């Protein structure tokens, strides 16, 4: 990622993420918000192979996948509480996120760590919706239905919300990511937001 691309990404306070519908991979487009509120410039493109024994997602600056900008990978295979190391385009570590398995039994909870900033913790805002999602997921054949159940995550540092991820109700997965703390590395926020979808059922 060039210094100009990184500066442009870091200036974003709202990101729009949309999942593409594909058979063997999960793909996500990360856009800036346009002046009218719709999707603007493509900032990142993510791809994840399904049914992988060790979760790994790479994000690129374009959908031709010519310029990687970051990635995240599970430390362990098939571990519900595994940490995911986030690396930059050169493979250097820039952060970590992990699912809190015990707390997630009631409402999904994640921890994101940024060097120099500490740990932010995100959980589902509405506990009633969290329970309904779990009931919904155990209904036979529900995964075949052509719409996505919404969820809303708020990530806190202390008692302050530093960013939030809202999944919209619809026939495909769409997310609005609002970033309130300018110190947050937007690459880590994107990795966590994509991970919420790609890894939520793990």
Kindly state the tokens that stand for 144. Answer: 């075949």
Q: Residues 80, 177, 67, 27: is their CA dihedral positive or negative?
A: positive
Look at residue 186 in the predicted model and tell me its pLDDT.
Answer: 96
Write the pLDDT tens digit of every residue in 154-197.
Answer: 999 999 999 999 988 766 678 999 999 999 999 999 999 999 88
Q: Model's pTM, two decimal places?
A: 0.85
144-160 burial code (b ≥16 CB/10 A, e <16): eeeebebbbbbbebeee
- Could you tell me which residues come within 8 angstroms of residue 33 by beta carbon, excluding any fewer than 6 positions away? 12, 14, 15, 16, 39, 40
Look at residue 201 in the predicted model and tell me its pLDDT.
Answer: 54
Confidence of residue 91 (pLDDT cuts 50, 70, 90): very high
């Amino acid at each position: 990622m060039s210094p100009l691309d990184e500066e442009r990404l870091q200036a974003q306070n709202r990101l729009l993420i949309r999942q593409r519908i594909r058979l063997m991979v999960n793909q996500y487009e990360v856009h800036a918000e346009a002046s009218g509120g719709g999707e603007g410039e493509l900032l990142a493109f993510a791809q994840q192979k399904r049914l992988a024994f060790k979760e790994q997602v790479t994000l690129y600056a374009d959908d031709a996948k010519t310029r990687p900008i970051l990635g995240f990978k599970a430390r362990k295979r098939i571990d519900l509480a595994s940490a995911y190391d986030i690396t930059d385009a050169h493979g250097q570590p820039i952060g970590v996120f992990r699912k809190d398995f015990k707390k997630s039994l009631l409402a999904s909870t994640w921890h994101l760590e940024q060097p120099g900033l500490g740990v932010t913790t995100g959980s589902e805002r509405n506990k009633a919706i969290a329970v309904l999602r779990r009931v919904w997921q155990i209904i036979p054949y529900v995964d075949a239905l052509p719409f996505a159940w919404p969820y809303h995550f708020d990530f806190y540092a202390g008692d302050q919300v530093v960013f939030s991820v809202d999944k919209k109700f619809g026939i495909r997965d769409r997310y609005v990511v609002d970033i309130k703390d300018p110190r947050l590395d937007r690459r880590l926020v994107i990795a966590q937001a994509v991970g919420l979808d790609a890894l939520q059922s793990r």
